[in-house]
Structure 1
Amino acid sequence: MNESLQHSLGARRRRALHCLAALFLGASGTFAWGPAQGGEFPDRPIQFIVPWPSGADAVLRALADTASRYLGQSIVVINKPGVSGTLGPAAMAKTAKNDGYTIAQVPLSVFRIPHLQATNYDPLTDFTYIIGLSGYTSGVVVRADSPWKTWAEFIDYAKKNPGKVSYATPGVNTTIDITMKQIARKEGIRWTGAPFKGAGDATAALLGGHLTALAGTTSWAPMVDSGKFRLLVTWGEKRTERWPNVPTLKELGYGIVANSPYGIAGPKGMNDKVVKALHDAFKKALEDPVMKKTLQQYDEEPFYLSTEAYRKYANTTFHQQKRIVEELHLAQP
């Protein structure tokens, strides 16, 4: 075989090998079925989309900082608020690569909004659910100088005075708003919800006597602890450690637990090993003593769900929210 022919065959062989490699390598130079060649996930910072404004994300930032220590890479919080907390997760699901380097918090609204309006995402097919993390403490407060010492007295007044009870909520069709509507439906009462954009304005309205009550998460806590507000009921699975004398809706017979659990997801089709790495880092963060103190500080309680349990939760919650929306006739015609 002469030198020219050898050179020609060698060139063909090299081209064939390059073509074969191209079938297995993506544009980023990584094998399609796994993390980057030559390194374990993660080998660069991770973007964590938080669907709330800066200032309303303290716990999530603490979780990201803590998890980054266990993951070995920084987790950078990207605030992307809007559409009741669904804008950020929806954008991630539709535009981010499924390599694990972009993840998002998944609030309860992700499962509710599709039943209220048209969305560009499907919570059952467009996400890879990674881990369930925590939930919020919510409840109803009145002014301390009001005549109602118990939730039963407050409900009795509402029944006897249709339309006279008004309460602040963080917005129409939020978990807070829907829970108050569920209570009204169960009790056969008529009261009026007033949406407020900020907790400060709602607190001021109640202090000024412009409202009867305030329903929401624990922005009211300092006023309760200082004796200016009275906490009548909380909405968790069990009584809170901070206010152990206050009953829950569940124990009062409503069959309602409204703690708005949240977790973390990525785009659909993520690699199992990448999911496990993220799950394990955030689970360790949730169990970290410093993180536990942070959750207590903000009146959140761990709501850990494994990857498989969180997938099941997503399916169950999507259909549960559909039932609630239909029962309360919340969807626009």
Structure 2
Amino acid sequence: MSSARISRRAALALGGSSLAVADGTHGLARPAVAQSGAFPSRPVRMLVPWAPGGTTDVQMRALCDAASKRLGQPVVVENKSGAGGILGAQALLNERPDGYALAQMPISVFRYPAMSSRPPFDPVADFTYVVHLTGYLFGVVVRAESPWKTFEEFLAHAKRSPGKVNYGTPGAGTSLHITMEQIAEKRGIDWTHVPFRGFSDNLQALLGGQTDALADSSGWAQLVEDGRLRLLVTWTEERAKRFPQVPTLRETGIDIVSASPYGLAGPKGMDPGVVKVLHDAFKEALHDPSHTAVLDRYDMPIMYKNSADYTVFARQMAKEEAEMVKKLGLKA
């Protein structure tokens, strides 16, 4: 494992990677075909831009299994981890808009174009938004034997030890990375970010003592309950139901809420009939008991939006991320 010391502004600027744009207007399905039940006639590929075994991967596999029952065809997960979660969207740009390729769309997809003087893609116009799903419970955990009992103690130690404290996240430019750097900026802390390709690598580095803390979604929950890890803070609006004794960032005096909500999208130009078939199947899957059990396990709320509302939300997110990029002076 290697880590690189970078400036705060440089760290915040790593919000994506170069993306190639394909036209993606060919191969449209006809509405009558979609509505007649002929779609899908083969497996649907779901691009998950995170490593196997992490919170998103587990949640998406449960969702895809439930959706497969509604669609009558397998929904097959393909992991494309790295680059802060934008590789699924990148792959969509070269896919046919026939409904057989979808991707989970993290917030980093909306962030990168605002950081470039020549944006390689438009996060609203270059994708078809199908259904919005959920958001994360984010938090910072340390090993149970660590000396820090509270987040304030951890921050105080980091401030006293510039450059000596490191933390892991699932990648540069993710909401977790940017929020940790915003925390450091607010408290005058100089610490080192260690990006990983997914939760499993991040967790192993923490347990093995290579990192001091882990900032990630709630794949850590069971280890916290088992006493192997200590949860110092969550980033939710209110305290997590599963961990009511743990304060939020706002309660520690840091006015940040971060849940990184996400949904599913396909290539631009998808036929409305195909979109409806997919939306209906995944909406039902979202509420399937086998899937909601996973959401409950990770304290992930249902944040459903239909295709039209999700498209509006995507436009809003692109605007808000652009404002954040401008405020922080971030550049690709």
Query: Could you state the TM-score of these two structures normalised by the residue count of structure 1?
Result: 0.78
Cα drift, residue 185 of structure 1:
1.9
Change (3 A) 1:328 1:204: same
Who is 1:212 aligned against?
Answer: 212
Change (3 A) 1:127 1:146: same
Looking at structure 2, the residues matched to 66 and 201 of structure 1 have their Cα atoms a distance apart, in angstroms, of 28
Cα drift, residue 127 of structure 1:
0.9
Who is 2:9 aligned against?
Answer: none
Cα drift, residue 204 of structure 1:
4.7
Is 2:39 the partner of 1:42? yes
**Structure 2 unaligned spans of 5+:** 1-25
Cα drift, residue 143 of structure 1:
2.9
Alpha-carbon RMSD: 2.9
Cα drift, residue 181 of structure 1:
0.8
What amino acid is aligned across from residue 52 of structure 1 in structure 2?
Answer: W
Looking at structure 1, the residues matched to 85 and 201 of structure 2 have their Cα atoms a distance apart, in angstroms, of 21
Looking at structure 1, the residues matched to 161 and 243 of structure 2 have their Cα atoms a distance apart, in angstroms, of 29
Looking at structure 1, the residues matched to 52 and 328 of structure 2 have their Cα atoms a distance apart, in angstroms, of 32
Looking at structure 2, the residues matched to 222 and 170 of structure 1 have their Cα atoms a distance apart, in angstroms, of 18
Change (3 A) 1:252 1:279: farther
Looking at structure 1, the residues matched to 306 and 133 of structure 2 have their Cα atoms a distance apart, in angstroms, of 9
Cα drift, residue 228 of structure 1:
2.9
Query: Could you state the TM-score of these two structures normalised by the residue count of structure 2?
Result: 0.78
Who is 2:166 aligned against?
Answer: 166
Who is 1:246 aligned against?
Answer: 246
What SS does the aligned partner of 2:308 have? helix
Change (3 A) 1:86 1:147: closer
What SS does the aligned partner of 1:52 have? coil
What amino acid is aligned across from residue 229 of structure 1 in structure 2?
Answer: L
Q: Which has the higher contact order (CA 8 A, sep 6+)?
A: 2
What amino acid is aligned across from residue 308 of structure 2 in structure 1?
Answer: E
Is this contact kept in 2: 1:182–1:328, CA < 8 A? no
Pairing of 1:152-191 with structure 2 (within 5 A): 152-191=152-191
Who is 1:20 aligned against?
Answer: none
**Structure 1 unaligned spans of 5+:** 1-26
Change (3 A) 1:330 1:290: same
Cα drift, residue 216 of structure 1:
1.7
Change (3 A) 1:267 1:211: closer
Is 2:145 the partner of 1:148? no
Cα drift, residue 293 of structure 1:
0.7
Deviation readout 1:249-291 (Å, 9 max, x if unpaired): 2444533222222211122233333322222211111111121
Looking at structure 2, the residues matched to 208 and 83 of structure 1 have their Cα atoms a distance apart, in angstroms, of 24
Q: How many residues align?
A: 303
